Amino acid sequence: MSRTSRFTRYATAALAGALLLLAGCERPPVDPVQRGYRGTGMEVVYNPRAVELQVPLNQPPAPPGPPGPNEGPKASQVYQNVKVLGDLSVANFNRHMASITAWVSPQEGCAYCHNVQNFADDGKYTKVVARRMIQMTQKVNADWKPHVAATGVTCYTCHRGNPVPAQIWFKAEGQDKKANFIGNLNGQNTPARTVAMSSLPNDPFTPYLLNDLPIRVNGNTALPTGNRSSIQQAEHTFGLMTHFSKSLGVNCTYCHNTRQIGGEWNGNPPQLVTAWHGIRMVRDINNGYIVGLTDVFPANRKGPTGDVAKVNCASCHQGAYKPLYGAQMAKDFPELLSYAKPADGLPPPVSEAQRSVLFFNVGSATLEGEQAKGLVQLIATLAAQPAAKVTISGYHSAAGDLAMNQELAKNRALGVRDALVAGGVAASRVVLDKPLQTEANISGEDPVARRVEATIK
Ligand code: HEC
Ligand code: HEC
Ligand code: HEC
Ligand code: HEC
């Protein structure tokens, strides 16, 4: 074989390789959109051909007719087993059923969730899951406004006409270490779609979207003074960040200022804050709603380690900076915008100049909901009378184990002391009394017994 022909063969192979590599990149022209001052590199690069394909996939379906007035008999009165949407009129309830069918199981119809011989039957797991999903959607729209704003979400945001949403995740299978000759790869060097085929750790979701390990790894001082984050942790953070970019179809600069990735919020695009809330929202969706359904799902729906399919940023966004490019679908379904928060059943706190009485939930030593407001007047009096002292007594009910009750009453009293100190009262002015048992009422248990009294003496 001559030298030249060998050379040509190598050159052809190299060229073919280069072409292959290039095919993985994006062919020009692309649209750079400037998002900051010139020369700061604050640009997002869009590929118009990719965007063109995305747009039709992200159109919401036409809404059904507007909801009727919520009048006449309610669904809870007419049907037998309605636990979440009972306040809807029968017509609006049926409008809701037709909509979720179109969003989740258009092929399979009502029978995907229902035993059509008896709609009240909860025998199909899909119905049990759907009921929880309705509550989850309500929670997202009502309590995660810092993320979803007025745009909100419906079942369609994730499902898009599929019973199983296209973008879900499972925990990665543990590494097969053979005879333990290989070290811990930490999920690296196994290019995975979860991290845009990079060699970053392939499960950035378990630590950050299920657990709440710290995502921030940068030190905030010039010299290494105490930042213990490892390179491995930084790689996990980068894995998550590639997922963010891919899910939203944007570059890093959509959320970060090139001048300061990490550190201050100031000077970064507002999307950084939206994303921060999004991370907390996804944890709430997964831990508060989906993981709890593990036993309800059949085995064939579960991942290699037996966990349920969970939500990440792509579940809703599916490649768009806002799901469905910000189409406001949820507003046509008022029943998905709010939920009835369970009343805690506690009496309102007593708030007087010389005395506060605060009530606690069973087994809890935390001032929940309205109860913390009961100290406001007392703190004002203490500020006006610098010589006055305040005595705190914790009461407990007669029901249950005495030693545990006394411990609880003590912790409740300590919690109230901390709240007073946080309100500016010097700890030396607070006197703690011994826990006291209240008279048992007939049931042995009543909310009035679980209280702390703080009195100026
Ligand atoms: C994605 C799952 C799903 C689909 C599809 C679905 N439903 Fe339902 N349906 C539910 C859930 C969940 C409830 C219970 C709601 C609650 O507890 O507030 C329910 C309750 C009902 C009830 C009340 C039954 C009773 O007596 O308690 C009726 C009637 C009903 N659906 C009709 C329909 C019809 C008709 C269709 C098809 C157009 C349909 N549903 C499609 C999930 C679904
Ligand atoms: C934030 C994303 C998200 C939203 C919003 C959402 N779902 Fe889901 N849904 C999921 C995930 C994740 C699963 C688990 C996938 C699986 O079933 O394996 C799921 C599963 C289901 C299933 C079980 C399907 C099956 O075959 O296993 C039903 C039924 C369902 N959802 C109904 C609803 C309804 C009804 C709504 C709206 C009220 C809704 N979902 C809103 C993410 C979502
Ligand atoms: C959708 C918005 C978004 C995108 C896109 C995004 N990030 Fe982030 N990034 C965040 C948020 C929010 C945090 C802070 C998370 C927290 O504090 O819980 C963060 C944190 C980081 C951190 C840690 C900063 C520190 O203080 O230690 C690094 C590094 C980082 N991102 C790099 C990147 C890179 C590189 C890209 C592109 C591949 C990227 N990010 C894309 C939102 C984004
Ligand atoms: C339950 C669905 C859902 C999930 C899951 C979700 N988002 Fe969002 N996100 C939305 C909606 C809806 C909006 C639009 C809000 C608006 O109109 O301002 C949005 C907006 C945003 C924006 C602002 C875009 C802009 O241009 O203002 C960012 C950034 C973002 N999401 C990042 C994330 C990240 C990062 C994750 C994963 C940690 C995530 N989202 C998960 C529903 C979701």
Whether residue 124 is predicted with pLDDT greater than 50 in this model: the reply is yes
* DSSP conformation letters of 370-425: GGGGGGHHHHHHHHH-TT--EEEEEEE-SSS-HHHHHHHHHHHHHHHHHHHHHTT-
* DSSP conformation letters of 250-288: --GGGTS-TT-SSS-STTS-THHHHHHHHHHHHHHHIII
pLDDT at 344: 66
**pLDDT, averaged across the chain:** 86
Q: What is the CA radius of gyration of the chain?
A: 29
Query: Does 217 or 244 have the greater pLDDT score?
Result: 244
pLDDT band at residue 409 under the 50/70/90 scheme = confident
pLDDT band at residue 446 under the 50/70/90 scheme = low
| Domain segments of the chain as ranges | 350-456
Whether residue 153 is predicted with pLDDT greater than 80 in this model: the reply is yes
Torsion angles phi and psi, residue 31, rounded to 5: -105, 105
Q: Which of 139, 159, 313 to mutate to test the pocket of ligand 2 (most atoms within 8 A of CB)?
A: 159
Average pLDDT over residues 127-135: 96
**Residues 2-53: tens digit of each pLDDT:** 455 555 565 555 545 444 444 456 777 888 888 888 888 888 888 888 888 8
The binding-site residues of ligand 2, defined as CB within 6 angstroms of any ligand atom, are: 100, 104, 113, 126, 129-130, 133-134, 137, 153, 155, 157-159, 163-165, 168, 285, 301, 309-311, 315-316
**Hey, what CATH class is 350-456 in?**
alpha beta
> Which of 24-28, 432-436, 440-444 is most confident?
432-436
The binding-site residues of ligand 4, defined as CB within 6 angstroms of any ligand atom, are: 140, 147-149, 151, 153, 157, 244, 248, 255, 271, 274-275, 278-279, 282, 311, 313, 315-317, 321-323, 326
Considering only the C-alpha atoms of the chain, give the largest distance between any 2 of them, rounded to a whole number of Å: 107
pLDDT band at residue 131 under the 50/70/90 scheme = very high
Average pLDDT over residues 101-105: 97
CA distances from 95 to 31, 74, 337, 420 (A): 42, 13, 16, 51
Instruction: Check if 216 has its Cβ closer than 6 Å to any atom of ligand 3.
Output: yes
H/E stretch holding 452: strand 451-456
Say if residue 29 is preceded by a cis peptide, omega within 30 of 0. yes
**Residues 264-275: tens digit of each pLDDT:** 788 889 999 999
CA distances from 449 to 218, 320, 398, 417, 419 (A): 49, 53, 8, 19, 20
| CA of 229, closest atom in ligand 3 | 27
pLDDT at 22: 47
pLDDT band at residue 441 under the 50/70/90 scheme = very low
User: Tokens standing for 117?
Assistant: 């011989």
* Amino acid found at 382: L
DSSP three-state, residue 307: coil
Q: What is the DSSP letter of 434?
A: P
User: Tokens standing for 361?
Assistant: 């939930």
Whether residue 455 is predicted with pLDDT greater than 90 in this model: the reply is yes
Tell me the CB-side half-sphere exposure of residue 388, using CA atoms within 13 A: 18
* DSSP conformation letters of 331-372: GG-GGGT---PPP--PPPPEE-SSEEEEE--TT--S--GGGG
DSSP three-state, residue 184: coil
Cβ pair 420, 454 in contact under 8 A: yes
pLDDT at 13: 54
pLDDT at 88: 95
Instruction: Check if 273 has its Cβ closer than 6 Å to any atom of ligand 3.
Output: no
Distance of CA 54 to the CA centre of its chain: 26
Average pLDDT over residues 420-438: 86
Average pLDDT over residues 78-94: 94
Query: Does 426 or 220 have the greater pLDDT score?
Result: 426
Of 392, 396, 390, 397, whose CA–CA distance to 457 is shortest? 390
Average pLDDT over residues 173-187: 73
Cβ pair 90, 98 in contact under 8 A: no
pLDDT band at residue 155 under the 50/70/90 scheme = very high
pLDDT at 1: 41
CA–CA gap between residue 260 and residue 235 (Å, rounded) = 18
